[in-house]
Chain A
Amino acid sequence: MSNPLTRATPVVRSATGLIPTISGRGGGRGTHLVQYLIVAAVAVFLVALPYLGVTKFQIGQTTTILIAAMAAASVSFLVGEAGLASLGHGAIAGTASYGMAWAFHQGWDTGLSIILAIALTLAVSLIYGLLTMRTSGIYFLMVTLAIGMLIYGLAFRMSSVTGGDNGLLLQRPEWINARENWWIFYYLVLALLIVTTLVLWVVARSPFGASLRGVRDNESRMRSLGYSVAGYKVAAFMISGFVAGISGVLGAWNTQSVSPESVNVETSILLIVMVILGGVGTLLGPLVGATIVILVKFTVSSYVDRWQTLLGIVFIVVILLAREGVVGSIGKLTNRIRKRRAQRAAGEDVPEAGASASNVSHT
């Protein structure tokens, strides 16, 4: 599978292998079962977590991580399948959060609030999509950055609606309140994470996903074949935005507050960091990346004053040495080991690293 981070390197590489990817490429016969077993194991672990003697606070932290993982997954989808690195998803998720908070203050009931929040998010995603559909690469990044800044400015300025720099406070619905039903909220978040990951996975493996990857790899060729490149990009943005919106709704409930920080550039940057650290386009990457970033930001920072430096250094190291992220690198490594073992078993010479017939590879 082509990862925009590893493309254009002289040696052809595959970023997958043992760890399942969204588009399910890579690996040979039998690895699929192992891949899915690993994912299942993680899922079962998360389901059982509250019963493993973990404290309420730790479940709360895990909830935060899961919500971040959902947002990161939406970014990962866009980067991995469409090759579009967006610095605007903080604003998109944050829009949903603002929608929830505002509706709460108007006294709307939960269902209507959610509908409003998602509708707003889809509208914003559409705007993003329309404004960026003719751009790609660096220009795409800049446009998403610009729109994100504008949304931040709006959140700040439209203070009678958004509460300005103070933001808005809200409350969770009674059935997931923070006092006794925090574990119900945890399961809700977990269930939604699994569902949204599944949705993205299904989309990636569908014909739409294949065409999207075609657009990512060679726009002009797809255009000459008659595909509406802009249409695919906008659609990808909307799908990604929808998932980000759900994470925004959950995020608003999680902290019971929303403020301009939810939509600022730093949030979007942290999402990209999560995606890269975890591994673009992998199924578990967003979760791994979210875990690392959230733990450094919230937990390590209690013990290390210079945690921002630490985060920056980790990020730099990953970009330099393990661009496929944690999950992707593990996949690459295990893949290489398997191939060498298989080839040795077959009595052949060990081939050059990376080149393989059973791996799908692109330039």
Chain B
Amino acid sequence: MMSRKMSVRTRAFAVAGLAVATALTLAACAPPGAAPKSESTAKSGTLKVGFISPTSGVFAIAGQQMEDGWKFFWDQAKNKAGDITVETTYEDDAGDVNQSLAKAKQLVEQDGVDVVVGPLIANTASAVAAYTFSQGIPNLEPVAASNNLTLSGANDLTVRTSSMGGTQANYPGGEWAATKGKAKTAVTLCSDYSFGWESCAGFKQGFEAKGGKIVKQLWAPNGTTDFSSYVSQLQALDADMIYVATAGGAPGPAFLNAYSGAGGNMDKLLLNCCALDQGTLVSLDKAGNGDKILGVKSVSYWAEGAEHKATQAFVKKYTEATGTIPGAYIAGGYMTADLVSQVLKKQGLVVGADLVSSITKFKFDDSIFGKVSWEKGNNMVAPVYVREVKRHADGKLYNDVLAEYDSVSQYLGKDEKAMIEQDKSKPYTNAFQG
């Protein structure tokens, strides 16, 4: 018995040891000839695009809409930009960094795409941007909103094509509140994670730059479903303006329901892009609460009621075709597609660093976002709107423009190097105020 057990054990060790030894020996030898990745078809007039977004999981609606916007453009254009064919492969990353990276690797190494578009969530965007840069592949971000993507984390191959950093997009809101909004004091309620911190920082800076005073800042953890505790605090603080920034999806309607239910003064509110996106308008209107939010103000780089010709044409076209009024996620996907198409038409088929420089040098005066350009760090410079909710003739709710701030840059008029340094060395907490 004993000897058989011993021999079995010895045998097992021997086998394992052999495998380990072989592995190590092979590791020391010349690398295996791995099959080459599929060739880019740049020579043959096709641009291969890899599109990553969270179409399942918590952020499913945002990811799906970003994909819908992109797809809508190419369906209309029959996948062609002039003579060039644009071929897109769509992948779901479920908002998970590991999955996002795995998909990016698959698209770049296995499918041989020329450019990766997306993903959406801030940490997935950072991770994928770092990866694609290491592979020499451009990365276009239609919706990601983290400051550092184009500041301290910027690289030469990543472009934020159709959205803004949180601070950049909300700074004009603060300015407006202190000036035209006639608010002397304000209180902020923001989601307690990087997007919320950066958005609140933008509002605070803009507000204080014009002489306003922030009385208090409240931070709501991600996943807060019942905002009534915060609403009561906001009411008790009795400031002139209440700035609220949350992620897209459920928090917007949840907050507005709690606030209006508790008898809050709707005129005092200034929300961010995502708390008052079309998704919020639709879900509130559907539940019969649409009238309660008429006139509520928000600040964002996208306003579906903006009077620009290109914006109106797009909104009309999209609404007629799908029945959905486009919100910021759809607009982001569409705008990036529009941009890529126009660049390809102008420059021919460009890939790699040429594609990036063609994009960042492109003068896009009539985009659906208005007049748009790109700046150092490959970030979008565009108008920011202060919006208010209005019901149009078709009976639906739109965000119309109340005030427009043109050519808002992520450097906010300050020294570029200082901004980048600050972004790199900031305390990574809600104490971050830009």
Q: Report how far A67 CA is from B18 CA in the complex, Å.
A: 21
B19 touches A44 (CB 8 A): yes
Q: Report how far A20 CA is from B31 CA in the complex, Å.
A: 33
Instruction: Name B115-169 residues within 8 Å CB distance of A.
Output: 122-123, 126-127, 130-131, 134, 146, 148
Asked whether any CB of chain B lies closer than 8 Å to the CB of A110, the reply is no
A191 touches B109 (CB 8 A): no
Asked whether any CB of chain B lies closer than 8 Å to the CB of A32, the reply is yes
A188 touches B427 (CB 8 A): no
Q: Which residue of B lies closest to A39 (CB)?
A: B15
Instruction: Name A248-269 residues within 8 Å CB distance of B.
Output: 255-257, 259, 261-262
Q: Report how far A50 CA is from B27 CA in the complex, Å.
A: 10
Question: Given A156-B193, A261-B96, A194 and B20 touching (CB < 8 A)?
Answer: yes
Q: Report how far A44 CA is from B23 CA in the complex, Å.
A: 9
A261 touches B23 (CB 8 A): no
Contacting residues, chain B, for A61 (C-beta < 8 A): 102
Comparing A226-234, A300-308, A317-325, the segment that makes contact with chain B is A300-308
Q: Report how far A79 CA is from B415 CA in the complex, Å.
A: 58
Contacting residues, chain B, for A188 (C-beta < 8 A): 27
Q: Which residue of B lies closest to A59 (CB)?
A: B34
Distance (Å) between the CB of A358 and the closest chain B CB? Answer: 14
Distance (Å) between the CB of A301 and the closest chain B CB? Answer: 6
B123 touches A43 (CB 8 A): no
Question: Given A43-B16, A166-B194, A191-B20, A298 and B106 touching (CB < 8 A)?
Answer: yes
Distance (Å) between the CB of A200 and the closest chain B CB? Answer: 12
Query: Of B22, B55, B101, B103, which is within 8 A of A47 by CB?
Result: B22
B106 touches A57 (CB 8 A): yes
A257 touches B34 (CB 8 A): no
Q: How many residues of B sit at the interface, in one of the four size bands?
A: 35 or more
Asked whether any CB of chain B lies closer than 8 Å to the CB of A198, the reply is yes
Q: Report how far A259 CA is from B99 CA in the complex, Å.
A: 12
Main secondary structure of the interface of A (DSSP, over half): helix
B122 touches A43 (CB 8 A): no
Interface size on A, residues (CB 8 A): 60
Comparing A124-132, A175-183, A331-339, the segment that makes contact with chain B is A175-183
B428 touches A160 (CB 8 A): yes
Q: Report how far A301 CA is from B109 CA in the complex, Å.
A: 17
Contacting residues, chain B, for A346 (C-beta < 8 A): none
Query: Of B37, B102, B148, B429, which is within 8 A of A56 by CB?
Result: B37
A54 touches B34 (CB 8 A): yes
- Encode A11-38 as 1/0 by CB contact (under 8 A) with B: 0000000000000100000001100100
Q: Report how far A163 CA is from B152 CA in the complex, Å.
A: 14
Main secondary structure of the interface of B (DSSP, over half): helix
Query: Of B97, B148, B193, which is within 8 A of A261 by CB?
Result: B97
Asked whether any CB of chain B lies closer than 8 Å to the CB of A60, the reply is yes
Instruction: Name A149-202 residues within 8 Å CB distance of B.
Output: 156, 159-160, 163-167, 169, 178-181, 183-184, 187-188, 190-191, 194-195, 197-198, 201
Contacting residues, chain A, for B20 (C-beta < 8 A): 191, 194-195
Question: Given A36-B11, A255-B98, A308-B56, A169 and B22 touching (CB < 8 A)?
Answer: no
B19 touches A298 (CB 8 A): no
A55 touches B110 (CB 8 A): yes
Contacting residues, chain A, for B56 (C-beta < 8 A): 305, 307-308
B193 touches A54 (CB 8 A): no
Q: Report how far A259 CA is from B96 CA in the complex, Å.
A: 9
Name, among A165, A169, A307, the residue most crowded by chain B CB atoms within 10 Å (CB to CB).
A165
B428 touches A55 (CB 8 A): no
B37 touches A57 (CB 8 A): yes
Asked whether any CB of chain B lies closer than 8 Å to the CB of A291, the reply is no
Query: Of B35, B92, B99, which is within 8 A of A53 by CB?
Result: B35
Contacting residues, chain B, for A221 (C-beta < 8 A): none
Q: Report how far A302 CA is from B94 CA in the complex, Å.
A: 12
Asked whether any CB of chain A lies closer than 8 Å to the CB of B413, the reply is no
Cβ contacts A to B, 12 pairs, < 8 Å: A55-B110, A58-B110, A166-B123, A166-B428, A167-B123, A169-B127, A181-B31, A183-B34, A187-B24, A191-B23, A257-B123, A257-B130
Given contacts A160-B429, A164-B194, 9 further A-B contacts (CB under 8 A): A36-B12, A36-B15, A43-B19, A55-B34, A164-B193, A183-B27, A194-B16, A299-B106, A301-B92
* 7 closest A-B pairs by CB: A57-B109, A43-B19, A50-B32, A187-B27, A165-B193, A40-B15, A57-B110
Residues of A within 8 A of B (CB): 24, 32-33, 36, 39-40, 43-44, 47, 50-51, 53-61, 64, 156, 159-160, 163-167, 169, 178-181, 183-184, 187-188, 190-191, 194-195, 197-198, 201, 205, 255-257, 259, 261-262, 297-299, 301-302, 305, 307-308
